[in-house]
Structures are given as C-alpha cells and as structure tokens.
Chain A
Amino acid sequence: MKLRYLPRITLLLLLLAIGLLLDGCQRSEPLPLRLTNVSGHMPDLDFRLTDDRGNAVTGADYRGKVVVLYFGYTHCPDVCPLTMAHLHVVMQRLGPLADGARILFVSVDPTRDTPQVMHAYVNAFDPRAVGLTGSAHAIEALTKRYRTAFTREPGAADGNYEVSHGSAIYIFDRNGHARVLATPSASQDDIVHDLHLLLSTGATP
C-alpha cells in the first residue's frame, strides 16, 4: 500500500532538487549592480592599440582584470582630469582589491597623444591607469564598437584645437564582458560598489 506512493515521492523529491538547483543557478547570475547594467548589450572588450610604454596591446591582454574604460585626451584640462581623479579615488577606496582592476584611458587625440605623453599623464593619476593610443583608424574602431563618438572642434589660429568626446565610463568584468556604464557624474559610492562586486566575484585571473 505505502510502496505504491514511493515512485511518486521519489519523483517529487527529484523535481524539488532540480528546482532548488535551477534556483541556485539563477540567483548567482544577475549581480546586484547599481550603475546602468549593460550585460549582454555591448560587445566584449577588443582593440588593437599601443600602451603608454610603447607596446602593442589588444583587449585580450587585459583578460583577468576588471577594466574601467574611458575616452579622453591629454590637452583637456578640465573634465578628463576630473574623471581620472575621481577614478583614482575609487581605486584608493577599493584598497588591495584595486590591483585586480585597470583604468584604460584611450586617447581620441592620437596626433598629440604619443605613448610618452600618455605615460606621464596616466601616471599622474593612478599607478593602475594605462594610457592607450594608436592610429586614428584603430581608435575610431573602438569608439564605434562602444557607440561613442569624438570630433575635433574648429582649430584656433595657433593650431590649437579642442576635442569633444563621449564622456561615458565603461566597466568590463575579468572575462572582458561589458557589465556597466557610468556617467562622469555617477556617484563614487556606486562605482566603488560595482567594481567591488565585479572584483570579488568570479575572481578567476
């Protein structure tokens, strides 16, 4: 009499176990990120540029690191240094965890931003900042990939010129997947929070 129910009970337990397993999987998937979540909506980190030490680098060279990508140029005395200074504070607040992250500052003014200029520039902000420059073509490819743009404003008489550029900050996880997008006015707490999350989860170097 009781044996008749055994297969049913086993099935029920099995379904329950599968359910718990699936639930567990789903729960570990979406991270409670605070910034604009772009997971799955933007292409993985990929580029062919030159770093501030003069080495040819690609996006793959930064796998294993959480990457903070920002476009700017060194002759920008106001907004670019402000963003970089804020990112430096973010890195400081992360403490030793910050060693697992890199700030990639990509120049949209490669004519003036040689690797040497970029080296002095990024190091004035943070030891974990890397300056990237390259051919106008390679930089345009990267800006298009992340749906941002830059234009050279009409030049002054002395050959000086301003560059307008996308102000977004893109954050990629250790696997090179785009995860969140921040504006320069985003709260520092939120950037620290999301980087902390990305640095402490899936910490596979």
Chain B
Amino acid sequence: MKSPTLSCLLAGLLAAGGAHASAADHVHASHAWIRILPGDLPAGAYVTLQNEGDQAVALNGAHSTIYAEVMLHQSSNEGGTSRMSAVDSLAVPAHGTAMLAPAGYHLMLMKASKPVKPGDTVRLQLSFTDGSTLATDFLARPANAVDDTH
C-alpha cells in the first residue's frame, strides 16, 4: 500500500514530465560534421535535424566546451554577392527536417581553446528555443571536404 504523499509525488512528476516534453526529445541529429580551416579561423558546422514530434521546434544555437563562441548563421547569394548573416533560430517543422548544409544554414564555431584536427570528434550541445539541448557529436573533416549528402 503506497502512501498518499508518494502517489501525489509520482503523479506530479509524471505530469511535469509530460508537460515539459522538450524539443530535443523529438529531434534526431544526423550527418553532423565540421569543416576545419587552418589556424584559428572560424569553422562551419553542419547537421541534419529530424523532428519526429507533433510540434514544430526551433534550433537557436549551440554550446561547446572547445569553441568559446558558436553562432547560428545563414549564407545567401543575391545578385552574385555572397553574404553571411546571423539568424535567431531555425525552425524544424513537426514531422519534418531542417538541414544545416554548405551555402545555407550553418553554425559558425570560433575561438577554439585547443586545435581541432580532421578526424576528431567534437561534441556540441544543440540548443532549442524551449531551453532543451541535444548533445551531438560532430566529425571534424578537412578544409577541402565535399559534402556527400548531395
């Protein structure tokens, strides 16, 4: 026979769990890689996000123990001019996919605390607008790597 307090606590925890089902619970990350440039030049990180939930979620950045600064960026090419701009978030539609891929959305990684070499794995905590995070391992690839998803 369970005590009423324990039942209440369990019910409360379950309810809390249901109400706070975070964005990251429904999102799968794949094809995560970083293009490593020489020296301390900023690097671009790419990943495919798949949302299996019924609600749209939005990526708004990432954190890393190696890179002091990570920014969500978008490259554009208008009238023959390449431009890069910071964006607040990238929506991943319900039961849909969002791609961070060369010449589009990417995470710009800056100020590495130690050199990252091709072949290394770098863990990034992807963050979503609801505050949840998703730990994702990114494979460091050489500067002249060509994205093989296309």
Mark A residues whose CB is within 8 Å of B: 72, 74-82, 84-86, 88-89, 117, 120-121, 123-126, 148-149, 153, 160, 162, 164-168, 183-185
Contacts and interface: CB of A to CB of B under 8 A. Distances in A.
B106 A78 contact: yes
B144 A78 contact: no
A86 B148 CA distance: 12
Given A78-B75, A78-B102, A120-B38, 11 more contacts: A72-B82, A75-B42, A76-B84, A77-B44, A78-B73, A81-B37, A81-B44, A84-B144, A121-B38, A124-B38, A164-B81
Contacts of A123: 38
Interface of B: 35, 37-39, 41-44, 73, 75, 77, 80-85, 102-103, 106, 108-110, 142-147
Given A75-B42, A77-B41, A81-B35, A125 B84 contact: no
B106 A77 contact: yes
B81 A166 contact: yes
Contacts of A121: 37-38, 41, 143
B115 to A, nearest CB: 12
Contacts of B85: 153, 162
A148 B35 CA distance: 27
Contacts of B43: 77
A149 B81 contact: yes
A184 B103 contact: yes
A88 B144 contact: yes
A148 B81 CA distance: 8
Contact of B145 (A80, A85, A120, A153): A85
Given A117-B39, A124-B38, A79 B84 contact: yes
Contacts of B109: 77
A27 B31 CA distance: 49
Given A84-B143, A88-B144, A164-B82, A77 B37 contact: yes
